[in-house]
Chains A and B, each alone.
Chain A
Amino acid sequence: MAEDGLEFAERIVGDAIAAGASQAEATYTVTERFSAEARGDALTKLERSVGRSLALRVFRDGRKASLTSSDLSPDALRRFVREAVEAAAFVAADLHAGLPEPVAVPPLAHDLRTYADDVRERSAEAKIADALALETGIRRADARIANSRGSHVADGAAEIAIANSNGFRGTFRATTASLDTSPIAVSGDEKRVAQFGNAAHGYARLVPVDAIAREAAERAAGMCGARKPKTTKCAVIFERDVAALVLGDIFAALNAANVAIGNSFFAAKIGARVGSSLARFVDDGRLVDGMGSSPFDSEGMPTQRTEVIREGVLQTFLYDTYYARRLGAKSTGNAAGGGSIGPSNFFLVPGQASLEDLIASTERGVLVLDTIGFATESVTGTYSRGARGFAIENGERAYPIDEFTIAGNILEMLGGLDAVANDMIFDSSIVSPSFRVAEMAIAGT
């Protein structure tokens, strides 16, 4: 299959050149997907499909255009490859646009373990049984779990082939498996939902079903009786998963495309202090078992380990070939398809303490377990989210709180980063250990 995919990609590159492109890059992806949903004691959804798609980038004397298509029929490809090349004529010539110069991808020092046989080999019945077991497990874990939004098992197996007119040829395959559940605790008139899950490259590497069910049930039931806190300023501990969401905003501001178009609060800060000495951020494309690991990025550049913020000092942005040329830097292997820049495995370097240690050393604060909202002001770093979690008093989880906001500025939050836990797991391409910010604004009553 991979060989066929590479031949197909090469043929499309040839077609684009014949249609008038000076350079072209084609990516052919085949993805098998499976998912099942259970609710109560019933299987409620079963989905299984194979999808194919082509992504083509063409350059015509520094003018670029792209085509993405799930219609791979010869007629459609002939027409739309030509139209993509024609559309490039309406784009401004840009001396930085184009394929990367040919470079050898250094051999991997180790197997990245992105492919697990059990994703294809495990039977549908066994996968469905996992979803049903999550539903049983959440109800067994706590008597207040009276309902759910469903439990899910999902997996995928992707084979990717990339060819470009500078001679790059590469294939890569990866699998993913995930489990998640959304129990609802009912207490009087209150309904409290939690969503919790885990993802890995294969089923054997997932957290056991029982553990996921228990944790999810505890998160839903633990919020029963939550109250709205008073408006104040205090320490905020971001638990692992919400900490990773903050890293998503930090990544967006390190993305060289956002820097180049004026959308980053990190712009013009390379070499400057942007956080406390605990602010150590790394992007690593070659991490064993990493969900974002691959030997090369979407334009065939080798992936690498990049220290982005070292002990609070900004070292570099994260680049693809185009924005590296435009900003006078080198690609960091972060091209993510369609001309975008994305994380490989982007994380905050963990500390030594446990989350419980962080809580115990906080006299007054909030532990945030979930946030809602998403509009961080990328140009200034202004941050504001709806939140729920626990009030911390004298080093203990005192009572559940919700319907409040946490607010600050991401640069100030990085400056106030005063404790980092040891609880990170690589279950996504952006991950984080729990961490504490010395002071943020809490808006409640």
Chain B
Amino acid sequence: MPLDAAAYSQILTAALGAGEYADAFHERRLTRSFRLQDGVIHEAGITLTSGVGIRVVSGERSGFAYSDDLSLDALLRTAKVAALIARDGSPRTQSVAMPPASSRATSFYGPAEGTKLSSESKTFVDFLSRADVAARGYDPRVRAVNGLFAEELQEVEIATSDGRFLSDRRPLVTLFVQVVAEGSARGNGVCGDGGRTNLDYFTERTPEDIAREAARIAAVNCEAREAPAGEFEVVVGAGSGGVLLHEAVGHGLEGDFNRQKTSLYSDRVGERVASDLVTIYDDGNLPLERGTLAIDDEGTPGQHKVLVERGILRGYMQDRLNGGLMGVGSTGSGRRQSFRSLPQPRMCNTYMPNGESTYDDIVKSVKKGVFAASFAGGQVEISKGDFVFMVAEGYLIEDGALTAPIRGATLIGNGPDAMTKVTMVGNDTRLASRYYTCVKGGQAVPVGVGMPTVKISHMTVGGSALG
């Protein structure tokens, strides 16, 4: 990280021009990974992402340019390109002052904070080999095991025209396993875990645990039947069920959509948007979680935000631009995929706290329905509010008990409509296994999701079996 306070001061002075605000986001991210295929280590990869993104803000306008050339000349040229957005105004002559050194953000990460990447290729390879043996040993129907181990360290420096100069070091480790099993049909199972920590994590949550979970799901799915089509009572499983909150509510509460009034949740703070059993938080401060950030990509500390409280909409997630224009300020939700992108308001770790029902009570209350145990992901269209989430492991519920496993179906609903139909909330909330990534406007960022077991009285299940 060769840039010093004097360099940032010059760059931001050049960028600011006639704008109201400018910032520089300097990133150096190193990722090392190994892939497992066919029982052997298939390939190794190193990815180095390094550069500076410079932004100039003027009202609701943003000018942006990035450079992977870190010479002062190149960065000054980049700053002047970013400044073009505000060229109609009259330039200031004032220069931007910086503190002499950046201040390190208070960390919520695991013990890796402040350390270097381990570079322990032998350990990575060992994790993958152990995962392979465990998955194959779990069930004779296992046919293929694919795995990925990745260790990443993202170092960022953020310098702003209002004189803030901050830094953060963000570790992230991930072990991901995919298993194919062959029974009466073929079945797929995936599981991943890790988080903002170091390799020690895998002493507790072992590669064997993760691999066996993927193999277990594959073994269930290779005997699964077609999912039904139509409206059913749906029970959403604890943990990855949080994908429901992320899609049905979370995206619609992002500040950009609400400042522009393009979300169906626009202008609805204080109104009922869910049943009174529903409370939803987004939290940037949870230890280990993928969406945790000591500071966001604009230098604002991560926060615990109440999005929905007993069914009432409490607030949006904001970055600096949108929160500023709406007069509420940032909630520490400004995130970007890399130095090549402008920040956007994004979720961190979105979850629902405990309710009062037990898992057993919830399942027993369903006469004919679907239990969606875990999710492969989801998507939402935030203006009308229709969302889908894709079941990775699911079962029929008949007369209060889980029966046949069903093949991957998409469930569809409308945000406030589905959340108003939440009729039971379990006392078993937990964060999902840590491998979820969210994509918005082409930018991918790691996130966390969580939920207790929840019952939705009506939801459309998109299988192909009718009647």
Bind each other: yes
Residues in A neighbouring B204, C-beta threshold 8 A = none
Q: Is the CB of B64 within 8 A of A46?
A: yes
Q: Is the CB of A49 within 8 A of B262?
A: no
Q: Is the CB of B45 within 8 A of A66?
A: yes
Chain A interface SS verdict (over half): strand
Residues in A neighbouring B110, C-beta threshold 8 A = none
Q: Is the CB of A386 within 8 A of B46?
A: no
- A327 → chain B closest CB, angstroms: 12
Once A90-B121, A94-B42 are accepted as A-B contacts, the answer to whether A403 and B460 lie under 8 Å apart by CB is: yes
Q: Is the CB of B46 within 8 A of A375?
A: no
Kindly state whether residue B381 has any CB partner on chain A within 8 Å.
yes
Kindly state whether residue A329 has any CB partner on chain B within 8 Å.
no
Could you give, for residues 406-445 of chain A, a 1 whenever the CB lies within 8 Å of some chain B CB and a 0 otherwise? 1111000000000000000000000000000000111111
Which of B28, B38, B50, B410 meets A375, CB within 8 Å?
B410
Kindly state whether residue A233 has any CB partner on chain B within 8 Å.
yes
Residues in A neighbouring B390, C-beta threshold 8 A = 373-375, 384
Q: Is the CB of A379 within 8 A of B386?
A: no
Could you give, for residues 119-133 of chain A, a 1 whenever the CB lies within 8 Å of some chain B CB and a 0 otherwise? 000001000000000
Which of B41, B60, B377, B465 meets A441, CB within 8 Å?
B465
Kindly state whether residue B264 has any CB partner on chain A within 8 Å.
yes
Q: How many residues of B contact A (CB 8 A)?
A: 84
Kindly state whether residue B376 has any CB partner on chain A within 8 Å.
yes
Kindly state whether residue B407 has any CB partner on chain A within 8 Å.
yes
Kindly state whether residue A206 has any CB partner on chain B within 8 Å.
no
Taken together as a complex, chains A and B put the C-alpha atoms of A124 and B227 apart, in Å, by 52
Taken together as a complex, chains A and B put the C-alpha atoms of A63 and B265 apart, in Å, by 53
Nearest to A67 among chain B residues (CB) is: B46
Kindly state whether residue B73 has any CB partner on chain A within 8 Å.
no
Could you give, for residues 286-311 of chain A, a 1 whenever the CB lies within 8 Å of some chain B CB and a 0 otherwise? 00000000000000000000000000
Kindly state whether residue B195 has any CB partner on chain A within 8 Å.
no
From B41, B69, B81, B388, residue with most partner A Cβ within 10 Å: B388
Once A69-B47, A193-B383 are accepted as A-B contacts, the answer to whether A48 and B65 lie under 8 Å apart by CB is: yes
Taken together as a complex, chains A and B put the C-alpha atoms of A340 and B313 apart, in Å, by 44
Kindly state whether residue A208 has any CB partner on chain B within 8 Å.
no
Q: Is the CB of A405 within 8 A of B410?
A: yes
Kindly state whether residue A358 has any CB partner on chain B within 8 Å.
no
Q: Is the CB of A372 within 8 A of B61?
A: no
Chain B interface SS verdict (over half): strand
Q: Is the CB of A49 within 8 A of B185?
A: no
Q: Is the CB of A231 within 8 A of B188?
A: no
- B180 → chain A closest CB, angstroms: 4
Q: Is the CB of A91 within 8 A of B44?
A: yes
Kindly state whether residue A227 has any CB partner on chain B within 8 Å.
no
Kindly state whether residue A184 has any CB partner on chain B within 8 Å.
yes
* Chain B positions 65-82 with a Cβ under 8 Å from a chain A Cβ: 65-70, 78, 81
Residues in B neighbouring A444, C-beta threshold 8 A = 230-231, 460
- B292 → chain A closest CB, angstroms: 26
Residues in A neighbouring B34, C-beta threshold 8 A = 87, 90-91
Q: Is the CB of B260 within 8 A of A49?
A: no
- A68 → chain B closest CB, angstroms: 5
Could you give, for residues 187-222 of chain A, a 1 whenever the CB lies within 8 Å of some chain B CB and a 0 otherwise? 000111100000000000000000000000000000
Once A66-B46, A71-B68, A231-B231 are accepted as A-B contacts, the answer to whether A385 and B466 lie under 8 Å apart by CB is: no
Could you give, for residues 129-148 of chain B, a 1 whenever the CB lies within 8 Å of some chain A CB and a 0 otherwise? 00000000000000110100
- B231 → chain A closest CB, angstroms: 6
Kindly state whether residue A80 has any CB partner on chain B within 8 Å.
yes
Which of B43, B51, B185 meets A91, CB within 8 Å?
B43
Nearest to B54 among chain A residues (CB) is: A49
Q: Is the CB of A382 within 8 A of B407?
A: yes
Once A70-B49, A379-B187, A403-B412 are accepted as A-B contacts, the answer to whether A44 and B462 lie under 8 Å apart by CB is: no
Q: Is the CB of A47 within 8 A of B465?
A: no
Residues in B neighbouring A336, C-beta threshold 8 A = none
Could you give, for residues 229-263 of chain A, a 1 whenever the CB lies within 8 Å of some chain B CB and a 0 otherwise? 00111000000000000000000000000000111
Q: Is the CB of A405 within 8 A of B412?
A: yes
Q: Is the CB of A51 within 8 A of B61?
A: no
Once A45-B64, A46-B84, A261-B37 are accepted as A-B contacts, the answer to whether A382 and B229 lie under 8 Å apart by CB is: no
Nearest to B390 among chain A residues (CB) is: A375
- B344 → chain A closest CB, angstroms: 11
Which of A83, A90, A338, A442 meets B125, CB within 8 Å?
A90
Once A44-B62, A193-B381, A231-B230 are accepted as A-B contacts, the answer to whether A71 and B386 lie under 8 Å apart by CB is: no
Q: Is the CB of B410 within 8 A of A407?
A: yes
Residues in B neighbouring A402, C-beta threshold 8 A = 384, 386
Residues in A neighbouring B348, C-beta threshold 8 A = none
Kindly state whether residue A78 has any CB partner on chain B within 8 Å.
no
From B41, B62, B412, B413, residue with most partner A Cβ within 10 Å: B412
Q: Is the CB of A192 within 8 A of B383?
A: yes
Residues in B neighbouring A339, C-beta threshold 8 A = 43
Q: Is the CB of B388 within 8 A of A386?
A: yes
Once A72-B68, A379-B186 are accepted as A-B contacts, the answer to whether A190 and B44 lie under 8 Å apart by CB is: no
* Chain B positions 215-264 with a Cβ under 8 Å from a chain A Cβ: 226-227, 229-231, 260-262, 264
Q: Is the CB of B460 within 8 A of A405?
A: yes
Kindly state whether residue A144 has any CB partner on chain B within 8 Å.
no
Taken together as a complex, chains A and B put the C-alpha atoms of A192 and B386 apart, in Å, by 11
Which A-B residue pairs are the 6 nearest by beta carbons?
A: A405-B462, A262-B144, A92-B40, A375-B390, A87-B44, A443-B229
B residues neighboring A (CB under 8 Å): 28, 32, 34, 37-38, 40-51, 60-70, 78, 81, 84-85, 121-122, 124-125, 143-144, 146, 178, 180, 185-188, 226-227, 229-231, 260-262, 264, 340, 342, 376-381, 383-384, 386-390, 392, 407-410, 412-414, 460-466
Given contacts A46-B61, A124-B84, A231-B231, 6 further A-B contacts (CB under 8 A): A147-B262, A223-B384, A375-B376, A405-B462, A407-B410, A442-B229
29 contacts between A and B (CB under 8 A): A42-B61, A43-B61, A45-B61, A45-B62, A45-B63, A47-B64, A49-B78, A49-B340, A65-B45, A66-B44, A67-B48, A69-B48, A70-B49, A76-B48, A86-B121, A88-B44, A92-B40, A228-B460, A231-B229, A261-B37, A261-B146, A372-B386, A373-B388, A377-B407, A379-B188, A405-B461, A443-B230, A443-B461, A445-B460
A residues neighboring B (CB under 8 Å): 39, 42-53, 64-73, 76, 80, 83-84, 86-92, 94, 124, 147-149, 184, 190-193, 223, 228, 231-233, 261-263, 338-339, 370, 372-375, 377-380, 382, 384-386, 388, 402-409, 440-445
